[in-house]
Structure 1
Amino acid sequence: MPAVPKVEIRKVHTYTGHQDAVYTVVSGGKDELFYSAGGDGYVIEWDLNQHENGRLIAKVPASVYALCYVPEIDVLIVGQNYEGLHLIQLSDRTEVGSLKLNTLAIYDIKVYNGLILVATAGGEFFIIDLKTLKILKKSIISDQNLRTILVVNDHECLVGTSDGHIVSIDLYSYEIQDQTHAHDKSVFSLAHQAQDHVLISGGRDARLKYWSVVGAELTLLESINAHMYAINEVVFSPDSQLLATASMDKTIKIWQYKERRLIKVIDKARHGGHLTSVNKLLWTRFNNFLISCSDDRSISVWDINIAE
């Protein structure tokens, strides 16, 4: 077995502009830009070159769990819980479109090939035309919440549900292709390594699972008891050599992807980590910084360095 690499962790900065829990972070149009949103309804742009206050993009009257940046048109899609989607033109911070979906929470938004994909509470999944904002398909694919969406190729996306399933949806026919009971409880996060045909899932059961992907079928390769409480997020490093997981147990863990091995724990005692649940992660190409957000209202920036 290869030696465990030496990983050095340094907290670069903590942003504290939110007034409530921070639920999501997404990348922007430049490597140094990212956006955050949370329980206070603020949508904020941050610049990793600056350790000052961010730029307020929008303020909505309900909490925001999901954001999606569309680089082709420089628009940020905001999922306002109980109201629907708001499209914000970032150059002048004006709303250029909106769509009422239902009166339920919006847990994830992805845009791919001209389609907006939306996962909501109540098991409702929406496929929407980006240009016209016309709903092309509305499906109830679970009797519980839909928590995460992952586009795996031109014709397929996967949806993680609160009843522990991973559902495969065909992006041409808009129909369910397959579904796998993956976790004992909610599937909160999915990450894909296309070259190896491997899917990683993290769930409320605190397990990190590796799956072999063949077509729409998933075969379990390994199940790891990874955290004490729910895994909220799983992300790859930009070079796909490492994984990071974020948990309700207040920690971030760094893993060797191929070896499936834990190599570092980021917590409050050792690194000045978060005080409460870590909700989302974003591993950027800007200096390889890892960004985390938490119920403690803060956003932390981490330098993850593997010593040669």
Structure 2
Amino acid sequence: MKTIKEMSMDVKHIATLTGHSGCIYAMDKGMSEQTVFTGGSDRFIALWNLETHQAEKFSATLPAPIYSICHVPEKKLLLAGTTTGSIHLLDLEKKEEIKILKHHQGPVFDIKYSSKTNCFYTAGGDGNFAVCSFDTLSLIKMKKLSHQKVRSIDFNYTTSEIAVALGDSNVLIFDLFTLEYKNDFMAHQVGEKVVGANAVRYSPDGNFLLTGGRDAHLNIWQVGNYELVKSIPAHNWAIYDIVFSPDANLFATASRDKTVKIWDAKTYQLLKRITKENFEAHTHSVNKLIWSTYHNYLVSVGDDRMVMVREVNRK
């Protein structure tokens, strides 16, 4: 194991997990603290054990590449969105598929579940944002938000809001319970040209919204009026994901530029740049991150078909 010390931080590479035969686009927390689900272009869903560094005795193969995964522990269900627009519901106890939903005509880029509403929310490449009831597994609402992709969804339970990132650069804010429109703003642009917003993530305290875009910028917005607080040229290429550490003191960004970066959540100072040049790291685009409570492991997946596990500790 290699250890890098910088800015009072220890980062240890724990393991590189292999088994996928294609790019990995999707990841979510698993059935226990030390497991994660992954899925990708090989149409395969795997469950990895972060303690043993092995795949668990669970797998599922879908008819199309997988772009999104949402594990709902209280329902013991796994939802997987594919490139064809279908959403597959898998019963984790029975280990079987129980339903296929076809609400989108384009890839399903994100799926999020809210226990507050008992609904799940999907972001489609067809520009639609859909809301489904978990009681009936039926469509409650379908909103056409853009002629481009809907890319990312996140909840703010402090303000009861939903943020939705669009491929036309806009971020829209809705009321969590009524789905009424509350706000919108252009999140990312290069000069006069607007570029897609790829990721939205609320800070755990609910005070800020972080967005990552195709312009490689990390933007921080004040919740409420959604005014821009800070814009950081964080990466060399598009940002695909943002996650906070379990203690909320740090957050990480993943990018098409093959890097994972770790930031101070209070000052937005860059603390660590994980690249192939200075670390065991991804050789292609990094697509998704999970920051697990298990040993504070930061897990990343990418186009190189690798699942990389690192332990992060700030002294």
Q: Which of 72, 78, 81 is residue 79 of structure 1 equivalent to?
A: 81
**1:22 aligns to what?**
24
For the 8 Å contact 2:49–2:55, the answer to whether it is kept is: no
* Counterpart secondary structure, 2:27: strand
8 Å Cα contact 1:150/1:159 also seen in 2: yes
Deviation at 1:194, TM superposition (A): 4.5
The DSSP-based 3-state class of the residue aligned with 2:123 is: strand
Matched, 1:177 2:182: yes
1:41-190 counterparts in 2 under 5 A? 41-112=43-114, 113-153=117-157, 155-184=160-189, 185-190=195-200
Rounded to whole Å, the distance in 2 between the matches of 1:47 and 1:195 is 30
Instruction: Give the whole-Å Cα distance in 2 for the aligned partners of 1:103 and 1:58.
Output: 23
Amino acid at match of 1:111: Y
Deviations 1:232-260 (A, max 9, x none): 11111111111111111111111111111
Task: Determine whether 1:257 maps to 2:265.
Answer: yes
Q: Which amino acid aligns with 2:288?
A: K
Q: Displacement, 1:95?
A: 1.4
CA distance in 1, matches of 2:306, 2:102: 30
CA distance 1:177–1:304, change in 2 (3 Å): same
Return the alpha-carbon distance in structure 1 between the equivalents of residues 40 and 234 of structure 2.
26
Residues 10 and 271 in structure 1, CA contact (< 8 A), matched pair in contact too? no
With the length of structure 2 as denominator, give the TM-score of the two structures.
0.92
CA RMSD of aligned residues (A): 1.5
Q: Counterparts of 2:284 and 2:227 in 1: how far apart (Å)?
A: 34
The answer to whether the 8 A contact 2:204-2:248 is kept is: no
The structure 2 residue matched to 1:304, chosen from 296, 305, 312, is: 312
Partner of 2:192 in structure 1?
none
Deviation at 1:102, TM superposition (A): 3.0
8 Å CA contact retained: 1:207, 1:226:
yes
Q: Deviation per CA, 1:103-156: give whole Å up to 9, x if none.
A: 310000011121110000121111111121111111101111000000112742
Counterparts of 1:304 and 1:284, CA distance in 2:
10
AA partner of residue 145 (structure 1): K
Select the residue among 237, 258, 282 that pairs with 1:274: 282
Check whether the contact 2:104–2:128 (CA below 8 A) recurs between aligned residues.
no
- Tell me the residue number matched to 2:220: 210
Aligned to 2:39: 37
Further displaced range: 169-178 or 290-299: 169-178
Counterpart of 1:156, as a letter, is: E
| Farther off after superposition, 247-256 or 79-88 | 79-88
Q: Secondary structure at the residue paired with 1:96?
A: strand
Which portions of structure 1, spanning 4 or more consecutive aligned residues, are displaced by more than 4 angstroms? none
Number of matched pairs: 302
Task: Kindly provide the amino acid, as one letter, of the partner of residue 133 in structure 1.
Answer: L
Amino acid of the structure 1 residue aligned with 2:86: G
**Alignment partners' CA distance in 2, 1:196 and 1:295:** 32
Distance 1:279 1:52 in 2: 21
Partners of 1:257 and 1:171 in 2: CA distance: 25
> What runs of 5+ residues in structure 2 fail to find an aligned partner?
1-5, 190-194
* Identity in percent: 33
* Contact 2:85–2:124 (Cα < 8 Å) also in 1: no
CA–CA distance in structure 1, aligned partners of residues 107 and 76 of structure 2:
25
For 2:104 and 2:129, the matched residues in 1 are separated by 11
Letter in 1 for 2:102: K
2:152/2:164 contact within 8 Å kept = yes
- Superposition deviation, residue 272 in structure 1: 1.1
Q: CA contact under 8 A between 2:28 and 2:71: conserved in structure 1? A: yes
Q: Structure 1 residue 67: deviation in Å?
A: 0.6
Distance 2:177 2:259 in 1: 39
Match of 1:294 in 2: 302
Q: Which residue of 2 aligns with 1:5?
A: 7
Structure 2 distance, partners of 1:22, 1:251, is 15
Structure 1 regions of 5+ residues with no counterpart?
none
